[in-house]
Every structure is written in C-alpha cells, then in structure tokens.
Amino acid sequence: MENSTEAFLAYLADQRGFTANTMAAYRNDLNQFVTFLSANEHDPDWASVKATDINAFIGIMREQAYATSTVARKVAAVKSFFHFLSTQGRIKSDPTRNLESPRVNKYLPKAMSVTEVHELLDQPAKQQTLENVRDQAMLELLYATGLRVSELVALNLEDVELKGEGRGVVRCVGKNGRARLIPLTSRGSYDALAAYVTVGRPHLAAVAKEQQPALFLNHRGQRLTRQGFWLILKSYASAAGIANITPHTLRHSFAAHKLKGGANLRDVQQLLGHASISTTQVYIHLNKDNVS
C-alpha cells in the first residue's frame, strides 16, 4: 500500500504541480484511511477495497464530529487516489466511481473592517525592536497586496524591488507555480518594507552563520515559517482586541476593501492570483458591515 501512495504523491508533485502543503494534506488523509483499513483487519491490498469500506470510513468521521469540509477534503483525496490507481492499471475497478462527495456549506470569508485593520497595523510600532520593524513590514505588505501567508514567507530578498518615491513591486509564486507581479500602491507598505530591508533585516541576517535568501527572517536569522507568522499575528490581534482572526483574514480584507473602493473585479483576481474569477466574486457578496 505504501508504494502506491508514494507513487501517487510523486505524480501529484511532478504532473499536477501541487504545493508542499497540499501534498502534506493528501499524505495525512491517505495515511488516516490506511490506519482505518488496518484497524478493521482489511487486507493490505488496494484492489480489495470496496465502496462499502470507504462509506464506513466516512461514517466513522461523521460519528467523530469531523467538520463537513474536512470530510469532503479527505473523501476527495481518496477518490483522487483511486482514480490514479485505476488509470495506472493498478486496480481493475475504481470503488469510488459512483461515490458522491459530502455537500459542503459555503461560508463567506470574513473580512475585518477598515478600523480593525488600522488598529492591527498600529500595533508593531508601539515597540521599537528589530522584530517589530519586520512585523510592521509583513502586516502592511499582506494588507497592501493580498498575498497568501505561504507566499509571504516564501519571498526572497530578490523578489522585492523598491524603486524609490514610494513605488515598488513584489514578485511572488503562487499556486501551481503561477508567478505574478504586485505593485506596492500603499505608501505605508512601501515605507515599512523599505525600513525593514535597510535597517531591520541586516541585523537579523547577521545572526545566521550562513547568508539567507529569505526576505523575512526570525530571531535566529532563518526564514520565518507560517507557524511563526501565525503566532505573531495572534499576539497583535489580541493586543488590538480583534477576535477570530486567521492569517488569511488580511487577504480577505484586502480583496473586500479593494472591491468596495471601486476596483475592477478582474484586476483584483489577478492581484490575488485566482485561477477563476468566480473565486474572486465571493468578495462582492460580503456583508457591507464587515468592510465599512
């Protein structure tokens, strides 16, 4: 079984261009399914898996009160895996062929109000440390560009061009390797990033034994991780009295505020790196009270 899952994951990486985070999620989902099969004394052979086994797996997750979205994601991983096995000739028939995916309730993304955003962005400046200079740049950059947090921490120093007079551009690589250039149209983001690049980052980089290409560094001079940023964001959100915030909230707020301000939907789609404009359209329907 393990050889087949590894072959599938290699296929996703090489042929489908899946990100490391998506690959990790698929691996976790398939490992959970294998654990379920083993616990039920199932033969270690994918060809012997039946639709009833998969339905039983879904039933167990529902009994354990998994979120519908989580169940749907795990089912999607299993279906994709068996489709791969079938097309590769590793199994004669696909047990998920007639399996319906769980219906997922669609929720509107949550955006902060403009006032809340300003409260959050004001927090790092309350302390004058190298980390605060970095944090100011990260928060300002996220809100000014709509970057995903994974894209933010993946930025290298060479991906940022500060042209002077408040103008700059950021190059990032998003999902499926799609690259895009995002202008720094906010003076606040330009100034915060310039201060970090010229003052904050050199001091943080000096701690590391080897030179690091990463734009945003932790206190050890290494690339800041998503988890590290999440802890930073939670701290500032708590200080600002903002609840229920996630690393994606600034991205949602960027899109909602841009559209509310009259930005063209197609332009916002390109800035966000959405493959489909329908994904961007959801921001039009956000409750106006959330973005005022």
Catalytic residue ranges: 148, 175, 248, 251, 274, 283
What's the CA gap between 66 and 102, in Å, rounded?
Answer: 12
Task: Please state the length of the chain.
Answer: 292
The pair phi, psi for residue 175, each rounded to 5°, is -65, 145
Token pair for 50: 């039946």
**Of residues 156, 154, 58, 151, the one with CA closest to residue 99:** 58
Q: How far is CA 197 from CA 184, 185, 254, 264, in A?
A: 15, 18, 23, 31
- CB atoms under 10 Å from CB of 282, counted, come to 16
Q: Which residue has the tokens 């795990």?
A: 74
